[in-house]
C-alpha cells in the first residue's frame, strides 16, 4: 500500500519509542503516513503558540489546555494519553545509587561526581522539577557544580550522556531512559521527590487533517496500543 497523505505530529520525546512501535499499525489501518517530530514539551508548546502547523500535538496537560484556551487547538479534541514518571540511570554494570528514600537519594546526589539532567528552563518536564527538588533538599549549589544538561529531543537524551561515560548518574522521564539500551535503569525516584507528568493529545486549530488526527488519538487510546505504551515505560490513562 502506498501512503499518499502525511499526518504531522509534534510529540513529547517520551512518546518516541511508543510511536516507533505503533506507527506501522496505524499507517496500515488509516492509510496515512505519520510524520512525527519529537522534542521537550516546553519547546513544542512554544512552537505551537508561535503558529507552527501540526495535525496532532502531544504535550503536557497544562500546555494543551493553555493552547486550546488561546485558540490554538480545537475545543473538545483534548485527550489525556499517558502519565510519565521520572527515573534514574547509570552506565551498564556501574554501581547503583540507593533510591530507597528521599534521604538516600539526597546522599547519592551529593556523592555522585556528575549528574546528567534535562535543562531546568526550556528543557523537558523533568528538568524544571529536579531544579525545584534540589533547591528543596538544600543541594542546588552542589548539583550546579556537577550538572550536565542534555540538549533535548531524541539526540539529546540524558541516557546517551551516561552511556558515553560523560556523567555518572542520569535523571529523566522513565520512557526516555528506556530509549537508550546501553544503560541500566536503577528505578523511579522516591515518592517524596517524584513528579508525574500528564501528557495530553489534542488537534491544533490549523490541522490540515483533523478527522485523521482524531483517528490517531483514538488509536493511541485502544487497549492494544496501551499495552505497547506501557511496555515502553509510560502509564496509559
Phi, psi of 220, rounded to the nearest 5 degrees: -70, -15
d(CA 170, CA 185): 9
Q: How far apart are CA 116 and CA 162, in angstroms?
A: 7
> Kind of pairing, strands 79-91 and 147-149?
unpaired
Tally DSSP H helices, then E strands, for the chain. 10, 10
Fold for domain 5-82+197-236? D-Maltodextrin-Binding Protein; domain 2 (3.40.190)
Q: How far apart are CA 103 and CA 73, in angstroms?
A: 43
pTM of the model: 0.88
Count, residues in the chain: 237
- Give tens-digit pLDDT for 141-187: 999 999 999 987 888 899 999 999 999 999 999 999 999 999 999 99
Which part of the chain has CATH 3.40.190.10? 5-82+197-236, 84-193
CB crowding 181-201: b at 16 or more within 10 Å, else e: eebebbeebbeebebebbbbb
Contact 216, 210 (CB under 8 A): no
Strand-pairing partners, residue 91, are 183
CA 108 – CA 96 distance, rounded (Å): 9
Mean pLDDT of the chain: 94
Q: Is residue 237 a contact partner of residue 81, using CB atoms and an 8 Å limit?
A: yes
User: What residues contact 104, with CB distance under 8 A and at least 6 apart?
Assistant: 97, 98, 190
Which residues does residue 147 pair with via DSSP β-bridges, in sequence order?
Answer: 115
Instruction: Give the whole-angstrom CA distance, residue 62 versus residue 78.
Output: 11
Cα–Cα distances in angstroms (integers) from residue 47 to residues 40, 51, 156, 183, in the given order: 11, 7, 18, 31
Q: What is the pLDDT of residue 5?
A: 85
The whole-number pLDDT of residue 153 equals: 81
Q: What is the CATH number of domain 84-193?
A: 3.40.190.10
**What is the chain's pLDDT, residue by residue, as a tens digit (237 residues)?**
445 589 999 999 999 999 999 999 999 999 999 999 999 888 999 999 999 999 999 999 999 999 999 999 999 999 999 999 999 999 999 999 999 999 999 999 999 999 999 998 877 788 999 999 999 999 999 999 999 999 878 888 999 999 999 999 999 999 999 999 999 999 999 999 999 999 999 999 999 999 999 999 999 999 999 999 999 999 999
Amino acid at each position: 500500500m502506498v501512503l499518499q497523505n502525511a499526518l504531522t505530529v509534534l510529540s513529547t520525546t517520551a512518546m518516541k519509542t511508543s510511536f516507533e512501535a505503533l506507527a506501522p499499525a496505524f499507517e496500515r489501518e488509516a492509510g496515512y503516513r505519520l510524520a512525527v517530530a519529537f522534542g521537550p514539551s516546553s519547546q513544542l508548546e512554544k512552537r505551537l503558540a508561535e503558529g507552527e502547523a501540526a495535525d496532532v500535538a502531544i504535550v503536557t496537560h497544562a500546555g494543551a489546555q493553555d493552547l486550546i484556551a488561546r485558540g490554538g487547538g480545537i475545543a473538545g479534541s483534548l485527550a489525556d494519553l499517558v502519565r510519565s514518571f521520572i527515573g534514574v540511570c547509570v552506565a551498564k554494570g556501574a554501581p547503583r545509587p540507593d533510591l530507597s528514600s528521599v534521604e538516600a537519594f539526597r546522599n547519592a546526589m551529593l556523592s555522585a561526581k556528575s549528574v546528567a539532567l534535562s535543562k531546568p528552563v526550556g528543557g523537558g518536564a523533568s528538568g524544571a522539577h529536579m531544579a525545584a527538588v534540589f533547591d528543596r533538599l538544600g543541594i542546588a549549589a552542589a548539583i550546579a557544580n556537577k550538572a550536565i544538561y542534555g540538549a533535548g529531543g531524541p539526540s539529546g537524551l540524558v541516557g546517551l550522556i551516561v552511556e558515553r561515560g560523560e556523567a555518572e548518574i542520569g535523571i529523566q522521564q522513565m520512557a526516555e531512559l528506556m530509549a537508550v539500551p546501553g544503560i541500566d535503569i536503577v528505578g523511579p525516584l522516591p515518592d517524596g521527590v517524584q513528579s508525574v507528568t500528564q501528557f495530553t493529545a489534542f488537534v491544533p486549530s490549523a490541522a490540515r487533517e483533523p478527522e485523521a488526527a482524531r483517528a490517531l488519538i483514538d488509536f493511541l487510546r485502544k487497549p492494544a496500543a496501551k499495552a505497547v505504551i506501557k511496555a515502553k515505560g509510560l502509564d496509559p490513562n
